């Protein structure tokens, strides 16, 4: 577990554990035909602070706010009730929740093998492109499967004069093989979204060279008059010894209403990634939730070791050509992660990307290279 201590009340009925993370990033792009895409940017990619805890055996809570942009974004903030049905763990939670929509989106940024989560995370989100939404979610699972169902509303805001969006979401995963040496993961999810009439139009543009270069995107015409969307995703992958590989494919079909200039706008997104631990650690996939978690570094520097080293690679493809003036793009990433401890990591990613846009400031085929680096601590 993380280093931060857990505090308990005297009767043990209440626990509280502070949590936080600091991700200091820099990203530099070159090689684009457009000078304004060749930029160098630094930031805190995440700066979160919060806590988790329990009240008795069944009640639990978690809260976390992100201050990375000198503004607030509330992330995991909910309360819940958990219980057991035989060997099945089950819980229900209400509040601001991560949408359970794949392997990467359910993985903490501090456990993701790459500096940026895969393209599926945002490209297949509901209108507004948010990973966290208000809602109620129920979940059941054992050590080799889980199933979640949820109903979500809007992201947190101060707009109390119109209906929330509404999203019905479900995801499941199963591990048909689960041994010490080998794991196979199959999973999938689907959602149905209702967009209220009063919603402003939204641009569905997707960055594809990391989150710190917003000029490198696959662009689409602004969508007006959408009434809802349906989306699905499939997941497949596994672990064999120190090697792992996972893939996610998904589609989102946005439906235009009477006022829209389009009937259906389709978005297709693919991500394939894999990695290998040079220093012998086990891959960090967890069969409980079908996501990545932090590693158990064999020789952390706090015990005189030199840490753990992981080599990673990823291919991502975005096809927005089924939407008005929709472009296409892909990115290939190679990276190395040096874990000084389980929760202190240095990362280096090299990305080659290509976009082919029909709208926006950067038209036609263009390609370039982005180098991204991160220093990161979580507690």
Tokens matching residue 75: 């992330």
In the region spanning residues 250 to 309, those forming contacts with its own copies, defined by CB under 8 A, are 300-302
Query: H-type helices in the chain, by residue range?
Result: 120-123
Contacts of 19 (CB under 8 A, 6+ apart): 2, 4, 48, 49, 50, 51, 52, 64, 378, 379
Least gap, CB of 185 to its own copies (angstroms): 31
In the region spanning residues 210 to 249, those forming contacts with its own copies, defined by CB under 8 A, are 211-215
Asked if 363 interacts with its own copies (CB under 8 A), we say: no
Asked if 377 interacts with its own copies (CB under 8 A), we say: yes
Asked if 77 interacts with its own copies (CB under 8 A), we say: yes
> Judged by CB, which is closer to its own copies: 161, or 179?
161
In the region spanning residues 25 to 54, those forming contacts with its own copies, defined by CB under 8 A, are 26, 36, 39-44, 47, 49-51, 53
Asked if 84 interacts with its own copies (CB under 8 A), we say: no
Query: Of 293, 242, 245, 286, which is closest to residue 143 (Cα–Cα)?
Result: 286
Number of residues that bind its own copies (CB under 8 A): 80
> Judged by CB, which is closer to its own copies: 90, or 234?
90
In the region spanning residues 324 to 343, those forming contacts with its own copies, defined by CB under 8 A, are 340-341, 343
> Judged by CB, which is closer to its own copies: 93, or 314?
93
According to DSSP, residue 223 is labeled B
> Judged by CB, which is closer to its own copies: 197, or 334?
197
Query: Of 354, 346, 355, which is closest to residue 373 (Cα–Cα)?
Result: 346
Asked if 179 interacts with its own copies (CB under 8 A), we say: no
In the region spanning residues 115 to 154, those forming contacts with its own copies, defined by CB under 8 A, are 134-135, 153-154
Asked if 74 interacts with its own copies (CB under 8 A), we say: yes
The beta-carbon contacts of 94-98 under 8 Å, at least 24 apart in sequence, are 94/135, 94/136, 95/134, 95/135, 96/132, 96/133, 96/134, 96/155, 96/156, 97/132, 97/133, 97/134, 97/135, 97/137, 97/150, 97/152, 98/131, 98/132
């Amino acid at each position: 577990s993380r280093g931060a201590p857990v505090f308990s009340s005297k009767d043990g009925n209440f626990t509280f554990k502070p949590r936080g993370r600091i991700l200091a990033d820099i990203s530099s792009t070159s090689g684009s035909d457009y000078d304004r895409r060749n930029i160098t940017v630094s930031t805190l990619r995440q700066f979160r602070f919060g806590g988790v805890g329990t009240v008795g055996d069944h009640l639990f809570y978690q809260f976390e706010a992100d201050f990375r942009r000198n503004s607030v974004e509330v992330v995991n903030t909910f309360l819940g009730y958990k219980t057991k049905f035989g060997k099945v763990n089950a819980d229900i939670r209400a509040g601001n929740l991560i949408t359970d929509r794949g392997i990467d989106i359910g993985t903490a940024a501090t456990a993701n093998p790459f500096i940026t989560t895969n393209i599926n995370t945002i490209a297949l989100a509901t209108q507004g492109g948010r990973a966290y939404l208000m809602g109620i979610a129920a979940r059941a699972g054992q050590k080799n499967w889980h199933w979640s169902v949820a109903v979500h509303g809007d992201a947190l805001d101060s707009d109390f004069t119109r209906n929330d969006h509404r999203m019905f979401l479900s995801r499941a995963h199963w591990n048909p093989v689960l041994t010490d040496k080998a794991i196979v993961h199959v999973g999938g999810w689907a959602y149905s979204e209702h967009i209220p009439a009063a919603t402003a139009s939204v641009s569905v543009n997707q960055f594809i060279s990391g989150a710190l270069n917003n000029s490198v995107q696959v662009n689409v015409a602004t969508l007006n008059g959408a009434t809802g969307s349906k989306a699905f995703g499939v997941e497949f992958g596994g672990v064999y010894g120190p090697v792992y590989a996972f893939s996610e494919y998904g589609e989102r079909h946005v439906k235009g209403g009477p006022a829209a200039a389009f009937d259906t706008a389709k978005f297709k997104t693919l991500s394939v990634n894999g990695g290998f631990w040079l220093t012998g650690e086990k891959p960090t996939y967890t069969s409980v939730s079908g996501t990545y978690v932090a590693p158990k570094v064999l020789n952390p520097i706090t015990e005189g070791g030199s840490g753990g080293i992981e080599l990673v690679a990823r291919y991502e493809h975005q096809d927005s050509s089924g939407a008005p003036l929709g472009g296409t793009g892909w990115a290939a990433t190679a990276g190395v992660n040096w874990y000084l401890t389980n929760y202190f990591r240095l990362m280096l990613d090299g990305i080659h990307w290509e976009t082919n846009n029909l709208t926006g400031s950067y038209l036609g085929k263009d390609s370039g290279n982005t180098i991204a680096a991160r220093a990161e601590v979580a507690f």
